[in-house]
Amino acid sequence: MASIGLTVLYGFGGQPQIEGALIFVALGGISLGLILWGKHLMPQGPFVEEREPMHSSPEEREAFALDFFQSEEGIKRRTFLGRALLAALGALGVAAIFPIRSLGPAPGTSLFRTAWRKGSRLVRSDGTAVTAQDVQVGGLLTVFPEGHVDAADSQTVLIRVDPNGFRPLPGRESWSPEGYLAYSKICTHAGCPVGLYEQASNRLFCPCHQSVFDVLRGAEPTAGPATRPLPQLPLEVDGSGYLRAQSDFDEPVGPGFWNDGGNRRP
């Protein structure tokens, strides 16, 4: 019955809830029938079957050993042939590495660089440039270098803080004009976008593993598993009021890797 219903329903375009219910009734009916059949109408045990030991008899083992080793004894210089075979297979294995190499480009310096360059204008994801008037104190914007809004490794959070209550880190005094701070948006733990900003405490949260970064202290991690601060992008305001990058990030963005320098700020 339900199977017929299902067929009709398909014909008329279907509706997931009813489809699911009909599948349940149709298959469940068959299931119930089979189980009741098995439980009540079929021969009930217990039946007993003997179990042989898992190992073979000594004669069988002996016979196998004779077959296996005798056939090899006929061949002279067995070790030499064996080594030749191993060498051939090894060479084939090495040769097989080269096609695998085509699966991806060499890492090279790509993890050390982003699309930010000296003088890159900050633009929103729709490509419009950001001026120094665009963000209120306490506001946040996700920005990219102009012409590279699809460069995932260049995504950056632009936050404006009150310049009076903020003291830049030594060496970064000129990086934050008019209270504009820009940090890489890629979490240094596992690479998620650090998207949540709590204005009252000036902290950035990563929604994936709950790392917390202190915006006023160079995006230093204060809680969660992250070990490294978010890299900071040095900013400047040009003559027309547009925000620009002074350079690329001075360290690799995103999660750590083996040869990432290891000497980034603690």
Partner 1 sequence: MITKRIARWFDDRLRASSFAHHALNKVFPDDWSFMLGEIALYAFVVLVLTGTFLTFFFEPSSRQIVYHGSYAPLRGVSMSEAYASVLRISFDVRGGLVFRQMHHWAADLFVAAIVAHMMRIFFTGAFRRPREINWIIGVTLLLLGIFNGFTGYSMPDDLLSGTGLRIAYSIALSIPFAGTWIAFLVFGGEFPAQDIIRRLLIVHIMIMPALLAGLIVAHLAILWHQKHSQFPGPGRTETNVVGSKLFPTYTAKSLGLFFGITAVLGAMGGLLQINPVWLYGPFKAQAVSSPAQPDWYLGWLEGALRLFPSWEIRAFGHSIPNPFFPAVVLPTFTFGMLYAWPFLEAHFAADREEHQLLNRPRDHPLRTAIGTMAFTFYALLLLAGSNDIIAKALRVPVNGVTWVLRILALTLPVLVALVAFRSMKALRESEAPGLLHVPWSAFRHRSQRAESDRSKAELGSRR
In the range 93-122, which residues lie near partner 1 by CB under 8 A?
Answer: 100-101, 103-107, 110-111
Instruction: Name the residue among 164, 173, 166, 156 with its Cα closest to residue 236.
Output: 173
Of residues 69-98, those binding partner 1 (CB under 8 A):
none
- Listed as own residue / partner, the contacts of 216-225 with beta carbons closer than 8 Å and 24 or more positions apart are 216/161, 216/165, 216/166, 216/167, 217/169, 218/169, 218/172, 218/265, 219/183, 221/188, 224/189, 225/189
147 binds partner 1 (CB under 8 A): no
Q: Could you say which DSSP state residue 39 is in?
A: I
Tell me: does residue 30 bind partner 1 (CB under 8 A): yes
Q: Which is nearer to partner 1, 20 or 119 (CB)?
A: 20
| Residue choice 3, 5, 19, 148 for contact with partner 1 (CB under 8 A) | 19
Shortest approach of partner 1 to residue 231 CB, angstroms?
15
Q: Residue 50, interface with partner 1 (CB under 8 A)? A: yes
* CA distance linking residue 85 with residue 77, whole number of Å: 13
* Residue 116 and residue 247 in contact, taking contact as beta carbons nearer than 8 Å: yes
Give the range of 17-25, 57-65, 76-84, 230-238 binding partner 1 by CB under 8 A: 17-25
Residue 21: what are its φ and ψ, rounded to 5°? -65, -40
Quote the Cα angle for 147-149-152, to 5°: 130
Q: Which is nearer to partner 1, 7 or 174 (by Cβ)?
A: 7
Q: Which stretch, 31-39, 65-73, 83-91, 238-246, contacts partner 1 (CB under 8 A)?
A: 31-39
Residues 214-243 that bind partner 1 (CB under 8 A): 221, 223-227
48: left (phi over 0), alpha (psi -120 to 50) or beta: beta
Q: Which of 7, 201, 257, 265 binds partner 1 (CB under 8 A)?
A: 257
The residue among 29 and 82 lying less far from partner 1, judged by its C-beta, is 29
Segment 148-167, which members bind partner 1 (CB under 8 A)? 150, 152-153, 155
SS3 sequence of 134-197: CCCCCCEEEEEECCCCCCHHHCEEEEECCHHHCCCCCCCCCCCHHHEEEEECECCCCCCECCEE
Span from 76-84, 166-174, 232-240, 252-260 in contact with partner 1 (CB under 8 A):
252-260
Among positions 164-203, residues that touch partner 1 (CB under 8 A) are 185, 189-193, 195-196
Which residue in the set 4, 7, 8, 20 belongs to the binding site for partner 1 (CB under 8 A)?
Answer: 20
Q: Does 258 bind partner 1 (CB under 8 A)?
A: yes
Nearest approach in angstroms of CB 183 to partner 1 is 13
Task: Choose one: 11-19, 129-137, 170-178, 230-238; the region binding partner 1 (CB under 8 A).
Answer: 11-19
Backbone phi, then psi, for 162, in 5-degree steps? -70, 115
Residue with tokens 């002996």, as numbered in its chain = 62
